[in-house]
A and B are shown apart, each in its own frame.
Chain A
């Protein structure tokens, strides 16, 4: 197997795993009370991890730009939808 590409995959996997373990610290330290910072961090970190998976593991970084834009559009739409719903919901019902 191409050593350089294999190393890149391994670095990506290690980085994703390290971020996941970071979420353990985030989740264990945050008390079970509404917390906008924890929620925003959780969503943004998850979206960053998803983008790394899409770009690196799914090889979208080498794909036609249209596919990269489509996946980024979904990520942005998801982020806006989740964080927008959370903050608007807290203003309305919180």
Chain B
């Protein structure tokens, strides 16, 4: 099979293949195919949420713009950068595990958790500040969408911590190590990241 430099082959099941420093040019789906079906399903569901938001926004442009002005763009930028770092760390974790460097993989997954936690705290602080200033879920339609989209994303992030816990357990238990399962957990975490990238653009940047 044609290979390109970049990574070693993944382990499957409890068997472990030697790291060769190469990745097959076209290999099976990263992680479990079922996760990709779920990811695509979730992606289309979020697209429907976003479309309804945009339609309602064009119908009430002035109200949405006025309320959008209450959000701090820099907080949105910070949250986006934090999730991007977490995605980078989990991608490094997958690569390290593939190469059999499980200590490095664990370090990277702990960093992923740390940055995920920073995002959660930042989001709670942002919600708290908005509520203290009188902008709640029922204030107006923009804030209804704001709380709905950020809260459902927050829920996905909490579930992401369960996946990270599974990945930690996989890496820490040699008899259970499955590269496929580690990749599955990473796929879910990246999904949280790219959904936030879209939420950020729609809530904080668009006009």
Task: For the complex, give the distance between the alpha carbons of A47 and B23 in Å.
Answer: 27
A24 adjacent to B190 (CB under 8 Å):
no
Task: For the complex, give the distance between the alpha carbons of A30 and B5 in Å.
Answer: 43
A89 adjacent to B190 (CB under 8 Å):
no
B side interface size, CB within 8 A: 64
In the complex, what's the smallest C-beta–C-beta distance from A17 to chain B, in angstroms? 6
Question: Would you call the interface of chain B mostly helix, strand, loop, or mixed?
Answer: helix
Total contacts A to B, CB within 8 angstroms?
A: 178
Q: A53-B193, A58-B190 are in contact. Are A71 and B26 (CB under 8 A)?
A: no
**Closest Cβ neighbor of A59 among chain B residues:** B30
Binding site for A on B (CB under 8 A): 4-8, 21, 23-30, 36, 40, 43-44, 47, 50-51, 54-55, 57-59, 61, 65-66, 68-69, 73-74, 77, 80-81, 84-85, 87-88, 90-92, 94-96, 99, 101, 104, 183, 186-187, 190, 193-194, 197-198, 200-202, 204-207
Q: A5-B23, A32-B65, A60-B30 are in contact. List 18 more A-B contacts (CB 8 A).
A: A1-B99, A9-B92, A10-B88, A12-B88, A17-B84, A34-B207, A38-B206, A38-B207, A46-B198, A54-B190, A59-B30, A59-B183, A62-B25, A63-B28, A67-B36, A81-B47, A86-B57, A86-B58
